[in-house]
Structure 1
Amino acid sequence: MTRAATQSKSQAQEDSDCKYQTVIVAYLKKQNRPYNATDIFNNLKGSIAKASVIKSLATTADQKLILSKTYGKQIIYAPIQNHETSADIEDMVELEAALETALKDLALHREILKGLNNELAILTKSPTTHDMQVAVESFTQKNQILDDRLQVLSSGQQLVPPKQIQMIKSQYIAYRQEWKYRYKMFKNAWTQIYDGSRNEEQKLMSIIGIETDADVGVKYEE
């Protein structure tokens, strides 16, 4: 690259830097409030590269065209107005920086509060200690009843008393005798009513609505 080309490129860069500085100083005076470099870059909608914004702010601050003050890990920049004293501007910068820090702390505490509220909601929905104690006691009692029942079944102990078994057998014999008697009565009556084939007999029973023991799987004779 020739010397003339290098000088031309350098001059173009200086012109751009000067233009950026003018835009940034004008912006700060128009807004009349402190900003950090990131806020200025965002508010200018990316019309100036962030690196150029940072460089221009540092240069104009060195030239005493704007005021800069380091607060914590960031640098705050503010316009210089003729009717304001240096002390007024510094106070404003400090207040702005303090406000920004407070807002960050507020956002952090809101996140912490959100997490605590979520934990509280979970605890609120969970059963209380008293409820859990009642549930455990109930389950323990039910388990004991089932365990006692299992012990009886495992021992082979006769669960139904002999007297009750005998009563059940007697009832079965009586019911079976009654069934045989009624079945015989039906067969006699049906024989007098119907004297056709077996197929026709079943059709007629179906039409009349007669349901035999065999139809429902009952076999008392066995």
Structure 2
Amino acid sequence: MATKSKTSDAKVPVLKGKEAEDKVLDYMKRMNRPFGAVDVSANLKGSVPKAAAQKILVALAERGLLVQKTCGKTTFFVANQANLEDMPAEKLAALEDEYKKLDEENKQLVAESKTLSADVAKLKSAPTDEELAFEIGKVADAIEKAQTHLEPLRAGMPLVSAEECEQLEAEWMRWRKEWVRRRKVFSTFWSLVTDALTPQEARELGEDLGIEQDTGEHGVLEKGPLCSSGSVLGKRRR
């Protein structure tokens, strides 16, 4: 039968007497921050129970090793600052130099981090290989179409003169205006004729009379560049 594996977290032994007192005092001096009995016991991983920690803290305060302070109903203890060893000037200067060095290194790391973050942002905004391939394909198709349009010109086909363009423009504007006018006249007349008919009856009447309505191509033409305001054969007037 297989034996049970040991847990990775070994149980912390509970300290008592002088050993527990030294443990608490050393912790309070090392941290040099205000703590309550609950915090001390928890931070020492339960090696000193909460009740014992409270008694030890009170006893250390009575002996002047700690200072006891009360905030409302809560009691805190902190290491007596008068008992702490003064820091030599040489050690303070060394710590100051070390701080300045670390601060400078930190600034360099922050600057490097910003640069790397900017590089990452550029890489994320750049198109992928698949997107580049797709765009290259679109450009290649556009080039091929343009080459096809250029072939007649390269073969010697005469260009359309400015006068011919003006004539085509005039013809286009004239007949488009006539188209729009006739369509309006028909729409007005047809509305009067079919006012008392249902949509199905009106459709049947139109079929009997052989009336041809505008097709989808007419709608596309109306919305296209040729019919846009100020357009001349698809080009804007200047």
TM-score by length of 2: 0.27
Structure with greater Cα Rg: 1
**Structure possessing the higher relative contact order (Cα contacts under 8 Å, 6 or more residues apart):** 1
